[in-house]
Structure 1
Amino acid sequence: MSLADRAEPVAAPAFVPDPRLTNKDLAPATHRKWKVFDLFALWMSDVHNLGNYTFAAGLLVLGLNVWQIFTSLLVGFVLIYFGMNMMGRVGQRHGVPFPVVSRISFGVWGANIPALIRAVIAIMWYGIQTYLASVAVNVMLLAALPDLVSWTRHSFLGLDALGWTSFLILWAAQALIINRGMESVRKFQDFCGPAIWLVMIVLAVWILAKAGWTISLTATPHPVSTGKQFAQWFGAIGLILSIYGTLMLNFCDFSRFAPDYRTVRRGNFWGLPINSTAFIIVSVIVTAGSIEVFGEAITDPALLVAKAGNTWVLALGALTFAIATMGVNIVANFVSPAYDLANVWPQKISFKVGGMISTVAALLVTPWNLYSNPAVVNYFLGGLGAFLGPLFGVIMVDYYWVKRGHVDVDQLFDARAGSRYYYRKGFNPKALQAFLPTAAVAAVCALVPCFADVAPYSWFIGTVTSGLLYSVLCRAERAATPPAEPPLAEPSPEEPGPRPVEL
């Protein structure tokens, strides 16, 4: 026997990821501590906010009654539940955040397109949500301490002294939580979600008691025709899909920390169809109660709490709205841009650095001026928001239909020409060919006045059209892909998570 025959086999060299594509935050998750309650609390943090309260209350004012609002939003949240599960499966199985997931369909460099679109939207709304919360806090403070009115007489860059004080306090508090990383985010949202529920229940009991426990569930302050009610019912479903289309796109940022897919499904079930619908209904009932008690529909909970006239109640209300906004901001508007910006320059930008860039940018854009300009909110943020549906459609069709769940995680961090997700110069032309025209269609539906009747469905239109177009473009590629086996199967509890990329 020769020496060659007796030689030990040489192990293949370990894969070394391209430093331009990875850092410890973008690499597959190794610590999977998020349980069912964590995901459930995540949804509580995301849903329990002023925007959702006002959205649900506004449907009552538009002509829907409590039962119609309940059924429409229940249907919407069930659809969102399935969409979140689809993206959640991708994140949980492969352990990577949204910008890395985007490399599967858009290419290792093309992934920056969906990542930056999502980041810009999140940063703008991060600032706007913080500003709206500061307005609610101002209402509470002025009701409790009328002498503070002197702080509202002079302004700087469009905001008075009281506004600046409230905004900066909320802004700094969020930055402190964010700077401690994702584990701090998990612990904070575990607290704030249940806390808001407790305050909402107290508010509902208070308004029901003042109304003598006689609130109609079938009446509306502004009755409309049956045809108009049907249009508003379907419109409510479309709007709630558009609202949650942002987080549906990057839910893998959270599901990557779940130990198994069953945890993701259960957390989503209790957090979406159950909790979210319940919160919306409580919001509508409180608004209906305000009609009985005060003779008008008060759709802003801050104004409703201000009517209590008790200093301690006002202080509690201010704290509650501050916590609610921090919860939704951190979940929906911080985590995504932190990862998205890290993806642009992983060697210099970590999750924490990306988060700090986002918070500073949210301050520099002076969100109160953005919010006071309907054209900016409608055309800029509304137009960008219409792009989220086409992105979701391309990514989901690519993963489930074209690639049938077959993903080589190592190759997601390989920028060499010829690597699996390099495509053409790092971009997937087919993904762009499907995304660009359908995003234009969705934006037209969302923004052009003559399409106002279909505007609530822009996210759905963009998702379906982009998915269909991408499936046509990729028919040959799918035919060459073997049927899915383990990649789409439910992992057993003993099955280890994705192998971490060595940094």
Structure 2
Amino acid sequence: MVSQANDDVTYVNRDIAPTTPEQRQWSLYNYLSLWIGMAHNIPTYLMAGGFIVLGLNWWQAILTVFIGNLIVLIPILLNAHPGTKYGIPFPVLARASFGVIGAGIPAVLRALVGAGWFGIETAIGGQAIQTFLLLIVPHWNHFSNTGTFLGMNLGGWISFLLFWFLNVWIIYHGIQAVKRFETWAGPLVLLLGIGLLIWAVSAAHGFGPLLNAAAKVHGAAFWAVEIPALTSVVGFWATLSLNIPDFTRFAKSQKAQEWGQALGLPLTMTIFSGIGVLVTSATIVVFHHAISDPITLLGHFHNVVILLISLGAVVVATLSVNVAANIVSPAYDFIQLFPRHLTFARGGLITGILGILMAPWLLISNPHIYIFTWLNVYSGFLGPIAAILIADYWVFRHRKLDVKELYEKRSQYFYERGYNPRAIWALVAGIVVSLIGKVVPSLSWLFNYSWFVGFIVAFIVYLILMYSHYGSSMTSN
């Protein structure tokens, strides 16, 4: 048990202390519904469609989503294990490899990506609210178009901020409120997708022309699209591959979280991406042009009751992924920086504010920017972090941690003034090698594999530096 009544109190508070047996109540269903809620979101719906725009055919696009999620499931399960075994969140797990203070480095990198995703998802949720207001408020369209700032008009900003407050309200009710919300929100999102698919098949009298369209890229051109696309799928959940201990620390057992995640992630991501492709294909028949955005598609419906229910489901869907994937971890990450002053709720509020300031919703307007820049660049940062966590816990320490010392200044995890320089050098090496292809054209292939390259380099460098310095595993009880 970690006590807060000592002179190292600045390194622990109630929100990041190890979970108690009473807190470990999350079952297989909770993790299954968590992933259903997170995977069934608008960017997932758009993902395979974006790959088709870039030249893949429908089955290549869906297969890419499935394989990418099988790959990213591996680091997710590896990093989930210590969360369940020791009841600790991601920033505290990172202390074992980066140092009690140095863990702030991966925590900040993860938090900034989370804030960016928060902005993207909040813009999507705001768009649904905007469509809702256009239906029920007279003259809203005229009022809404008054002025434009950072790519959104007045109505868009009002809708964005309304959705923003919904996210913050849930977070202010704590992590258990997140659990309760995800339990019922996840299945609701799946029902919306199935409903759209039934409509599409009925209205188009089939699945539309996309299923008959051949791939536009072949040979070397195919791999020039396929490899970055696969990396972007891995990068899509590279964030959760780090902070999954934030959720698995509440698991009843290893089996509950492992099976819940193994069933919840690859299948739901693939199914929802497939629904997006099939519905988009049908819209070509129904409306004579492709409508890939489900919110835009819902705006074409004339039954007000169905439309309002559908838009409500979109709002719930986006809330579901935003709260779980984009606020929970950054909230814990910011606590790592200032544990004496921040709480879970305050960390979530900081995330929300950064999500506004970063204005990352502009990224999803172009598939090339969204897939080849946003997802692949941050993959080059997060892949090395995942590698260091896994190398330290599974290889160097053989899954043995002294939990009490993770919160103390006078401990093996304090390294040199709170930082482990070997982890920092491994992180830098992984980032540089994975991203150098972004600025050196002859090495562009390294950037196309950014997550994989960064992971392999950081994994090897970290273990070489740690074994050369310590000789063998550091003592852990």
Shift of 1:37: 1.0
Matching residue within 409, 415, 440 for 1:415: 409
- Cα distance in 1, alignment partners of residues 442 and 183 from structure 2: 44
Alignment of 1:48-447 (within 5 A): 48-142=40-134, 147-155=139-147, 157-158=149-150, 159-215=152-208, 218-220=211-213, 223-366=216-359, 383-416=377-410, 419-446=411-438
1:19 matched to 2:13? The reply is no
Is this contact kept in 2: 1:56–1:280, CA < 8 A? yes
Distance 1:372 1:214 in 2: 26
- Are 2:437 and 1:461 equivalent residues in the alignment? no
Letter in 1 for 2:17: A
Is the Cα contact below 8 Å between 2:73 and 2:262 reproduced in 1?
Answer: yes
Q: What amino acid is aligned across from residue 19 of structure 2 in structure 1?
A: A
Report the CA distance between 1:316 and its aligned residue: 2.3
Would you tell me which structure has more helix in proportion to its own residues? 2
Give the superposition deviation at 1:81. Answer: 1.8
Code of the residue aligned with 2:466 in structure 1: it is C
TM-score, with structure 1 as normaliser: 0.86
Cα pair 2:49 2:277 within 8 Å, conserved:
yes
Opposite residue 288 of structure 1, the aligned amino acid is S
Q: 1:409-444, CA deviations, whole angstroms, 9 ceiling, x for partnerless residues?
A: 11101112xx21011111111111111122122233
State the SS of the aligned residue for 2:56.
Answer: coil
State the one-letter code of the partner of 1:458.
S
Conserved 8 A contact 2:84-2:245: yes
Deviation at 1:16, TM superposition (A): 4.5
SS for the counterpart of 1:20 is helix
Cα deviation 1:360-402 (Å, max 9, x = unaligned): 3333445557878999988788644421111111111111111
Q: Give the number of equivalent residue pairs.
A: 471
From 34, 42, 51, the equivalent of 2:34 is: 42
Find the aligned partners of 1:57 and 1:110 in 2 and give their Cα distance: 40
Cα separation, 1, equivalents of 2:468 and 2:444: 38
Q: 1:391 to 1:14 in 2, by over 3 A?
A: closer
Other structure's SS at 1:24 match: coil
Q: TM-score, normalised by structure 2?
A: 0.90
Deviation at 1:408, TM superposition (A): 0.6
Unaligned 5+ residue runs, structure 2?
none
1: CA distance between counterparts of 2:293 and 2:136? 17
Kindly provide the amino acid, as one letter, of the partner of residue 390 in structure 1.
Answer: P
1:228 shift after superposition: 3.2
Matched, 1:470 2:458: no
Distance 1:131 1:45 in 2: 18
**Aligned partners of 1:74, 1:166: CA distance in 2, in Å?**
33
Alignment of 1:481 with 2:466, yes or no, is no
Coordinate RMSD, CA, aligned = 2.9
CA contact (8 A) 1:389 1:460 kept: yes
Mapped partners of 1:298, 1:455: distance in 2: 31
1:96-121 CA-to-partner distances (Å, cap 9, x unmatched) read 11110000000111101101111122
Amino acid at match of 1:194: P
Report the counterpart of residue 497 of structure 1 in structure 2: none
How far apart are residue 234 of structure 1 and its match?
3.7
Residue 421 of structure 1 aligns to a residue in which SS?
helix
Shift of 1:145: 5.9
Distance 2:215 2:139 in 1: 38
Tell me how far 1:152 sits from its aligned partner: 2.7
* Shift, 1:70, TM fit: 2.9
Looking at structure 1, the residues matched to 383 and 128 of structure 2 have their Cα atoms a distance apart, in angstroms, of: 31
- Map of 1:29 onto structure 2: 19
Q: 1:213 to 1:259 in 2, by over 3 A?
A: same
Does structure 1 conserve the Cα–Cα contact (< 8 Å) formed by 2:129 and 2:163?
no
How far did 1:467 drift? 0.6
Residue segments in structure 1 that go unaligned for 5+ positions in a row: 1-12, 488-503
CA distance in structure 2 between the aligned counterparts of 1:61 and 1:381, rounded to whole angstroms: 17
Shift of 1:452: 5.0
1:78/1:301 Cα in 2 relative to 1: closer, same or farther (>3 Å)? Answer: same
Give the secondary structure class of the aligned counterpart of 1:427: coil
The amino acid that maps onto 2:182 is: Q
Q: Rate the CA distance shift 1:234–1:404 in 2: closer, same or farther, 3 A.
A: same
Q: 2: CA distance between counterparts of 1:184 and 1:140?
A: 26
Contact 2:48–2:62 at 8 Å: present in 1 too?
A: no
User: Quick one: structure 1 residues 71 and 153, their matched pair in 2 at CA, closer, same or farther if it must change by over 3 Å?
Assistant: closer
Distance in 2, Cα, partners of 1:384 & 1:81: 18
Distance 1:14 1:299, change over 3 A: closer
Shift of 1:163: 1.1
Percent identical across equivalent pairs? 32
Change (3 A) 1:353 1:296: same
Partner of 1:386, secondary structure, is helix
Q: Distance in 2 between matches of 1:176 and 1:402?
A: 41
- Alpha-carbon distance, 1:479 to partner: 5.0
Q: Which moved more, 1:117-126 or 1:223-232?
A: 223-232
The residue type paired with residue 457 of structure 1 is: Y
Q: Which amino acid aligns with 1:152?
A: S
Range 177-186 or range 445-454, more displaced: 445-454
Question: Aligned partners of 2:376, 2:67: CA distance in 1, in Å?
Answer: 23
* Bigger Rg, structure 1 or 2: 1
Check conservation: 1:87, 1:252, Cα contact below 8 A.
yes
Q: More deviation in 196-205 or 144-153?
A: 144-153
Deviation at 1:169, TM superposition (A): 1.3
Counterpart amino acid of residue 12 in structure 2: T
